[in-house]
Amino acid sequence: MLNKILVIDDEEHLCWALEKGLRQEGYQVITATRGKEGLELIQKETPSLVLLDLKMPEMDGLEVLVKARELFPKLLVIMITAHGSIDTAIEAMKLGAIDYISKPFDLNELKIVVRQALMVSRLREEVVFLRSELNKKHGRILGNSPAIQEVNNLIERVADSNATVMITGESGTGKEVTALSIHNLSYRREKSYVPINCAALPETLLESELFGHEKGAFTGAVSRKLGRFELADKGTIFLDEVTEMPLSMQVKLLRVLQERQFERVGGTESIKVDVRVIAATNRDPMDCIKRGTFREDLYYRLNVLPIHIPPLRERSEDISLLTMHFMQKFNPSQEQMISPEALTLLMNYEWPGNIRELQNVIERSVILSQGQEIKVQHLPKEIQKVENKKSDADQGLILNFPDKGISFDEVERELILKALEKSRGNQTKAAQLLGLTRSALLYRAQKYQVKL
């Protein structure tokens, strides 16, 4: 798409010369000889850049600049100023112009200024896009299974809410990753994300960690300390293993959730905070309530937006994708390979430690394989002994890989081809078989040059 440049100058011959010179550079150029006319063209044509004369009758350049920036705050404007009005040009830059050039000027000099301005703008747009993509990447749990797709959809829907979230799931399923994903996708992402493990501290220390303490509040309190809630103000606090919190602390937490204020240990001043609370547990909260170890009123206060993370054994279709991810993480300098036999064993293993266990296994295997192909002998003994529990139909997809091993790209391309074959070329059906949206399927097909 050609960059469109608008020239606003009351000198018609200058407009003609700039139009001719800039068209030779491949730009689309439109001109106006009056400020009001220029503003109308800005609204109608939405140019990439405006060359604006400072001195014009009826409406001068500064007035046009202010009105144009009100309409389009990111509009690129370069001022054209006569000799002796540099101070006014600097004032224009304070109002939002990105640069200025003084008359008389060399056309080649102007072309350089225009080229640099457009290049800087393009780079800024790319940075914004990459940051957005990075947030999306950190805002999604890795996996294509329907269960994880549902979790990711929930994360996106609840991210910008202020309501508390309760994440449940076995140890190692990725509850903290889920909490961080919610924070990274929320409007609070520029503020603090403060985690605390409620099971790791005794009651006396937990209260101080959560709410802080004043100097002299207890033996060893030699100075004031800010608690996690105070540190997380305007951001997010993550209460991991919240069902392990002592009952007396649960009462105090409930008050903070209700009133959004607390006192430091040993203090009398009420401190108000604006904090998004995310809690997690690897236990069944209802079972804890029945046993009397967890308050029912606190549970319902935390469980406004519940998210359950399924164990890895219930989404075994994600194991190959996670395996490739961890292989790349622990050996980024080269493309790591894994034998079909080793991958089959990983797919058949029950994974009591879930994703955390898989990550540890892959890290160990990468070290033992010394950067070469991961084979069965590089896996832990308990995984090597796993019986083949998959049906022949399930194995077919895995056993058709090349003898030399596989790469993640090969896995995805093969899955796309098989899904298209099974769906007889129906793209929507193929996407459903893969647990993808149709647009995601089209993107991957284009990436791997699969003809649809």
The predicted-structure confidence for 290-300, as pLDDT tens digits, reads as follows: 999 999 999 99
pLDDT at position 85 is 65
Contacts of 211-217 with CB under 8 Å at 24 or more apart are 211/252, 211/256, 211/262, 211/263, 211/264, 211/265, 212/264, 212/265, 213/264, 213/265, 213/266, 213/267, 214/264, 214/265, 214/266, 214/267, 215/266, 216/266, 217/264, 217/265, 217/266, 217/267
When comparing pLDDT for 349 and 450, which is higher? 349
What does the alpha-carbon distance between residue 410 and residue 433 come to, in Å, rounded to a whole number? 18
Q: Check whether 65 has a pLDDT greater than 50.
A: yes
Give the separation between CA 10 and CA 88, rounded to whole angstroms. 18
- Nearest Cα to 318, choosing from 423, 435, 440, 418? 435
CA distance 295 to 242: 11
User: pLDDT for 194-242, tens place per residue?
Assistant: 999 999 888 888 999 999 999 888 888 888 889 999 999 999 999 999 9
Assign 385 to helix, strand or coil: coil
Choosing among 3.30.70.890, 3.40.1160.10, 3.40.50.300, 3.40.50.150, the CATH entry for 139-308 is 3.40.50.300
Angle of CA points 87, 93, 96, to nearest 5°: 150
Which residues have a Cβ under 8 Å from the Cβ of 232 and sit 6 or more positions away? 191, 192, 193, 194, 273, 275
DSSP H or E segment with residue 166: strand 165-168
Owner of token pair 């957005």: 132
Query: Which residue spans within 9-119 are E strands per DSSP?
Result: 28-32, 49-53, 76-81, 99-102
Distance CA 286, CA 427 (A): 43
pLDDT of residue 392: 39
Q: Where are the domains of the chain?
A: 4-131, 139-308, 312-447
Calpha distance 55→219 (Å, rounded): 73
Residue whose pair of structure tokens reads 């090969």 in the numeric block: 410
Q: State yes or no: pLDDT of 7 exceeds 60.
A: yes
Residue 338: partners with Cβ closer than 8 Å, 6 or more residues away: 323, 327, 373, 374, 405, 406
pLDDT at position 380 is: 94
φ, ψ at 383 (rounded to 5°)? -80, -35
pLDDT of the residue at 391: 38
pTM across the whole model: 0.57
What is the residue-wise DSSP string for 406-417?
A: B-HHHHHHHHHH
* Cβ neighbours around 264 below 10 Å, total: 23
Structure tokens at 262: 């607390």
Instruction: Retrieve residue 125's tokens.
Output: 């747009």
Topology of domain 312-447, CATH: Helicase, Ruva Protein; domain 3 (1.10.8)
Judge whether 4-131 and 139-308 match in fold.
yes
Structure confidence at residue 1 (pLDDT): 55
Where residue 340 falls among pLDDT bands split at 50, 70, 90?
Answer: confident
For the stretch 86-99, pLDDT in tens is 677 778 888 888 88
Beta bridge partners of 272: 261
The pLDDT value recorded for residue 412 is 78
pLDDT reported for residue 106: 85
142-197 pLDDT, tens digit each:
888 888 989 999 999 999 899 999 999 999 999 999 999 999 999 999 999 999 99
Predicted local confidence at residue 41, as pLDDT: 93
Residue-level pLDDT at 393: 38
- CATH for 4-131 is 3.40.50.2300
Average pLDDT, the chain: 85
Question: What is the average pLDDT across 423-446?
Answer: 76
Q: Which two tokens stand for residue 46?
A: 């939405």
Query: C-alpha distances in angstroms, 419 versus 65, 316, 402, 423?
Result: 55, 18, 19, 6
285, amino acid identity: P
Q: Is 399's pLDDT higher than 60?
A: no
Task: Determine which of 3-12, 243-252, 280-289, 404-413 has the lowest per-residue pLDDT on average.
Answer: 404-413
Mean pLDDT is lowest, of 11-15, 20-24, 126-130, 169-173, for 126-130
CA distance 115 to 127: 18
What pLDDT sits at residue 49?
93
Residue 253 has pLDDT above 90, yes or no: yes
- Pairing between β-strand 225-226 and β-strand 212-213 as defined by DSSP bridges: antiparallel
Question: Are 55 and 38 spatial neighbours (Cβ–Cβ below 8 Å)?
Answer: no
The residue whose two tokens read 């800010």 is 226
134: left (phi over 0), alpha (psi -120 to 50) or beta: alpha
The pLDDT value recorded for residue 284 is: 93
pLDDT, residue 387, reads 65
